[in-house]
Amino acid sequence: MLQIVNLKVEIEGKEILKGISLNVKKGEIHAIMGPNGSGKSTLASVLAGKDFGDITEGKITYMGKNLLEMAAEDRSKEGIFLGFQYPTEIPGVSMVNFMKTALNEHRKYRGLEPLSSSDFLKLMREKKDLVKIESGLTNRSVNEGFSGGEKKRNEIFQMAILEPKLAILDETDSGLDIDALRIVANGVNQLKTPENATIVITHYQRLLDYIIPDVVHVLYDGKIVKTGGKELAVELEKKGYDWIKKDVDIVSYG
Amino acid sequence: MQRVYPKFCIFVCYLFGLNTINGTITGFHLLALGGLRFNTMREEMGKEQDKLISKVTSGEYKYGFYTDIDLDIIPKGLNEDVIKQISAKKQEPDWMLEFRLKAYKAWLGKKMPEWAHLNIPEINYQDIVYYAAPKQKATMKSLDEVDPLLLDTFNKLGIPLEEQKRLTGVAVDAVMDSVSVKTTFKETLAELGIIFCSFSEAVREHPDLVKKYMGTVVPYTDNYFAALNSAVFSDGSFCYIPKGVRCPMELSTYFRINAAHTGQFERTLIVAEDDSYVSYLEGCTAPMRDEHQLHAAIVEIIVEKNAEVKYSTVQNWYPGDKEGKGGVFNFVTKRGICRGENSKISWAQVETGSAITWKYPSCILRGDNSTGEFYSVAVTNNHQQADTGTKMIHIGKNTRSIIVSKGISAGKSQNSYRGLVKMLKNASNARNFSQCDSLLLGDECGAHTFPYIEVDNQTSIVEHEATTSKIGEDQIFYCNQRGISNEDAVRLIVNGYAKEVLNKLPMEFAVEAQKLLEISLEGSVG
């Protein structure tokens, strides 16, 4: 589904991603872990098509297409969803209006008729139940005045509506208490099918108690320095990132 | 919304409290903050935005066509003789001509106001045509006698004059250049005692009413443009709602400039007697021309006891081209007085057109417990300039006013809010709340706020809030990531920002206004 080959990204002359290669197949859950500043969020933004930095090398193929040539909105319509680490507030724009606009853009792209208001509200109700989000949230402006936990749940709710093929969740667990974490993880698991794939970007291992990854990658200093099964996450939690750093630094300078 | 410059100032002039602190019992009458500029801001956006917000408007002005119709015209120039000719063409009584000539003398003694944050090129008043009328029969019995070209013009503007084709519940007075073309539903309204006709007709048919009210809210000496209008005004609408009548339909005037080199000077007079209600709307468009055209209007509203007038404007005069060539100068004096107790005036305006706008729809709150409201969305793009706002003059006890102003600036435009809240000595327990927000799209536009507050009463409360924000790259990317294009994202965000004001417009027009906002800002984000 997604192949990243030797991706290098510079921001303001500084190399942030230093040759990343990654292969995600449908049905898989990948976890990308790493200390702060290792390039996790940059990777997520590049995949979603945010216009920043320079891609100096490498290529990304998504469903057989060159991803880097696609506009951000087209990537969305092709099924890539980014769960933001810091979801943006849009005052005055109701969640209903926002999601209806988004969904109908997706439908138009697939050659479908726009959904009527009543059908859309029905869909919203179903999805709200699925991800256990309070009905109040959808009547408010996009993310405006939402608590940290509400914002993250709102991301999962949007994901439920748009039904992506590839979901990238950027630090979705940060700032969540254990109950919110469970609700978010539950939403992700509910939406999982053999046809779609998920990339979970996280700092801590605890989210991976609820979302069981097939593959765990450790990103450090712009490179994937270790790849393994879910047990890698446990080991990382136990030994801390210093363990990885030490290994890598020995390799680099040894 | 990303708050780049969250200027958040709340002024609660709780003078009673201040008084106690000062330890004085009397002698504390005035807290004059007039003339003080609370926050003038010119926002500069970061360079990283340039890439995103670079393309300037590509949206076309939809109403820029010209109707080639035979005109009855008075040659260019302004002098007493021209004024006499206008008056004669309108078959006016002597008192009206006298009023015009007095106003002309007053105008000659006045100077163009220069205090606004506007760069107005010099206007040659001798180079303007003050009267141009489509030739048609003086009195028409039915619509069949109206020139089909005129009907066609208004059809193209989306204002069909055939009553059966109109939106139900809206009566229209259609004004082209210097005359009213047709007023619809006149007979239906007359059954309720409502008078809705062109101003010229009112002068002929209801001289007593016109004499009684004209110039009582905006005297001809009021300001430069009001004096000019009073001297040369050509047409406009007159509306009289008798005691106890709720006008069952929206009344509206549609102003169209058509002829070249012509100024439009219309007057609107609305009188709402005790316990009456009317909702009034005006719309305006003009052809696209390289020259500037002058529009100097007066609107006067008189509201008696327990009566309410809602006045909504969708202003879409030709704004000029992308380089700032051409466009209408919109210099308008609009003012209403709440004469009776519990009366109410509500202004709602969506200002998207005109090269330059100079306009402050105001309320004089004389009756006790009367209310004034001002809701405004002003959009400027390319080289447009707007200096607009309101005045709320609190005279009566327990008077209330609310001001919600939303400015949107794009391109190289300048957008200013200018407002005065004045609490007079006897306005006990008067209250005002003002909110002035500015939204910037791009790094070459300016947003400015000039709120003046004068308080002469110790029990009044004045609150002022202001914010400046810009459409953030993050907001647009968030929309993109959900499948929404840049254009649609800006549309969503702007509509969300202006929603509070759009909601105040009558429903049919709220939709129209929303579309207008979109067209005005089309292409302002690339």
Q: Quick one: pLDDT band at residue B47, thresholds 50, 70, 90?
A: very low
Gap between the Cα atoms of B170 and B509, Å rounded: 11
Lowest mean pLDDT among A59-73, B118-132, B219-233: B118-132
| Prediction ipTM score | 0.94
Distance of CA B48 to the CA centre of its chain: 36
> Is pLDDT larger for residue B5 or for residue B256?
B256
The C-alpha angle with vertex B244 and arms to B241 and B247, in degrees rounded to 5, equals 45
pLDDT of residue B51: 34
Q: Locate B247 and state its tokens.
A: 């006008």
Closest partner residue to B481 (CB to CB) among A76, A89, A109 is A76
Whether A102 contacts chain B with CB within 8 A? yes
Place of tokens 């929603």: B499
pLDDT of residue B54: 33
Per residue in B437-451, pLDDT tens? Answer: 998 888 888 899 999
Q: Quick one: pLDDT band at residue B494, thresholds 50, 70, 90?
A: confident
Distance from CA of B448 to the nearest CA of A (A): 21
Whether A108 contacts chain B with CB within 8 A? no
Lowest mean pLDDT among B6-15, B166-175, B249-258: B6-15
Q: Quick one: pLDDT band at residue B142, thresholds 50, 70, 90?
A: low
pLDDT of residue A171: 87
Distance from CA of A15 to the nearest CA of B (A): 19
Whether A212 contacts chain B with CB within 8 A? no
Any alpha helices (H) in B148-260, and if so which ranges? Answer: 148-156, 186-190, 199-205, 207-213, 224-232
Q: Quick one: pLDDT band at residue B50, thresholds 50, 70, 90?
A: very low
pLDDT of residue A251: 55
Please tell me which residue of chain A has the smallest CA distance to B474: A88
Distance from CA of A46 to the nearest CA of B (A): 12
Per residue in B381-401, pLDDT tens? Answer: 888 999 999 999 999 999 999
pLDDT of residue B417: 93
Q: Quick one: pLDDT band at residue B155, thresholds 50, 70, 90?
A: low
Give the closest residue to A50 by CA, choosing from A13, A23, A11.
A11
Mean per-residue pLDDT for B91-114?
93
Gap between the Cα atoms of B30 and B84, Å rounded: 47
DSSP string, B141-154: SSGGGS-HHHHHHH
Asked if B431 contacts B461 with a C-beta cutoff of 8 angstroms, the reply is yes
**Count of structural domains within chain A:** 1
Gap between the Cα atoms of B520 and B508, Å rounded: 19
Strand A65-66 versus strand A223-228 pairing type: unpaired
Strand runs (DSSP E) across B277-381, as ranges?
277-285, 292-295, 298-303, 308-315, 327-338, 344-351, 356-359, 362-365, 371-380
> Is pLDDT larger for residue A68 or for residue B502?
A68
Q: Quick one: pLDDT band at residue B12, thresholds 50, 70, 90?
A: very low
Whether B168 contacts chain A with CB within 8 A? no
Residues contacting residue B431 through CB under 8 Å, at least 6 positions apart: B399, B400, B401, B460, B461, B462
Mean per-residue pLDDT for B346-373?
93
Mean per-residue pLDDT for A133-157?
85
Kindly list the residues from chain B whose CB atom is less than 8 angstroms away from the CB atom of residue A76: 480-483
Gap between the Cα atoms of A193 and A123, Å rounded: 19
Mean per-residue pLDDT for B365-376?
96
Four-CA torsion B407, B408, B409, B415, nearest 10 degrees: -10
Bridge partners of residue A200, in order along the sequence: A31, A169
Per-residue CA distances from B195 to A248, B36, B66, B214, B307 (Å): 87, 44, 31, 15, 16
Please tell me which residue of chain A has the smallest CA distance to B48: A52
> Looking at the predicted structure, is the pLDDT value of residue B4 above 70?
no
Q: In what order do the strands lie in the sheet with B461-470?
A: B179-183, B170-176, B250-256, B277-285, B308-315, B344-351, B371-380, B400-410, B431-441, B461-470
Q: Quick one: pLDDT band at residue B68, thresholds 50, 70, 90?
A: low
Residues contacting residue B258 through CB under 8 Å, at least 6 positions apart: B66, B67, B69, B132, B134, B153, B176, B177, B286, B287
Across the interface, do B492 and A158 touch by the CB < 8 Å criterion? no
Whether A91 contacts chain B with CB within 8 A? yes
Name the burial class of residue B88, with classes exposed (0-12), middle (13-18) and buried (19+) by CB atoms within 10 angstroms of its CB. Answer: exposed
Across the interface, do A88 and B493 touch by the CB < 8 Å criterion? no
Q: Quick one: pLDDT band at residue B61, thresholds 50, 70, 90?
A: low
Taking only residues 58 to 87 of chain A, the set having a beta carbon closer than 8 angstroms to any beta carbon of chain B reads 71-73, 75-77, 81-82, 84, 87
Mean per-residue pLDDT for B284-307?
84
Closest partner residue to B1 (CB to CB) among A91, A105, A158 is A91
Q: What is the mean pLDDT of chain B?
A: 79
Mean per-residue pLDDT for B259-286?
86
pLDDT of residue B516: 72
> Looking at the predicted structure, is the pLDDT value of residue B160 above 70?
no
Which of helix, strand or coil describes residue B346? Answer: strand
Please tell me which residue of chain A has the smallest CA distance to B501: A92
Residue ranges per structural domain of chain B: 19-69+130-521
Q: Quick one: pLDDT band at residue B177, thresholds 50, 70, 90?
A: low
In total, the C-beta contacts within 8 angstroms joining chain A to chain B are 83
Q: Quick one: pLDDT band at residue B113, thresholds 50, 70, 90?
A: confident
Whether B498 contacts chain A with CB within 8 A? yes
φ, ψ for residue B17, nearest 5 deg:
-60, -45
Whether A51 contacts chain B with CB within 8 A? yes
Give the closest residue to B314 by CA, choosing from B158, B421, B446.
B158
Mean per-residue pLDDT for B98-118?
92
Lowest mean pLDDT among A77-91, A173-187, A199-213, B14-28: B14-28
Residue among A90, A106, A109 with most chain B CBs within 10 A, to mutate: A90
HEC sequence for chain A = CEEEEEEEEEECCEEEEEEEEEEECCCCEEEEECCCCCCHHHHHHHHHCCCCCEEEEEEEEECCEEHHHCCHHHHHHCCEEEECCCCCCEEEEEHHHHHHHHHHHHHHHCCCCCCCHHHHHHHHHHHHHHHCCCHHHHHCEECCCCCHHHHHHHHHHHHHHHCCCEEEEECCCCCCCHHHHHHHHHHHHHHCCCCCEEEEEECCCHHHHCCCCCEEEEEECCEEEEEECHHHHHHHHHHCHHHHHHHHHHHHHC
pLDDT of residue B41: 29
Across the interface, do B485 and A92 touch by the CB < 8 Å criterion? no
Expressed as residue numbers, the domain containing A122 is 2-253
pLDDT of residue B235: 84
Across the interface, do B496 and A72 touch by the CB < 8 Å criterion? no
Lowest mean pLDDT among A8-12, B490-494, B520-524: B520-524
Distance of CA B526 to the CA centre of its chain: 31
Asked if B371 contacts B310 with a C-beta cutoff of 8 angstroms, the reply is no
Q: Locate B160 and state its tokens.
A: 């069909």
Across the interface, do B482 and A109 touch by the CB < 8 Å criterion? no
Which residue type sits at B215? Answer: G
Per-residue CA distances from B79 to A225, B74, B228 (Å): 87, 12, 11
Lowest mean pLDDT among A234-243, A245-254, B55-64, B481-490: B55-64
H helix or E strand, kind and range, residue B107: helix B94-108
Across the interface, do A101 and B475 touch by the CB < 8 Å criterion? no
Across the interface, do B481 and A84 touch by the CB < 8 Å criterion? yes
Mean per-residue pLDDT for A198-210?
87
Residue among A76, A84, A88, A110 with most chain B CBs within 10 A, to mutate: A88
**Max Cα distance, chain A (Å):** 65
Residue among B439, B469, B474, B477 with most chain A CBs within 10 A, to mutate: B477
Kindly list the residues from chain B whose CB atom is less than 8 angstroms away from the CB atom of residue A12: none
> Looking at the predicted structure, is the pLDDT value of residue B10 above 60?
no
Residue B127 gets which letter from DSSP?
G
Across the interface, do B485 and A105 touch by the CB < 8 Å criterion? yes
Gap between the Cα atoms of B516 and B494, Å rounded: 12
> Looking at the predicted structure, is the pLDDT value of residue B57 above 60?
no
| Side-chain half-sphere exposure of B69, counting CA atoms within 13 A | 24
Name the burial class of residue B320, with classes exposed (0-12), middle (13-18) and buried (19+) by CB atoms within 10 angstroms of its CB. Answer: buried
pLDDT of residue A91: 86
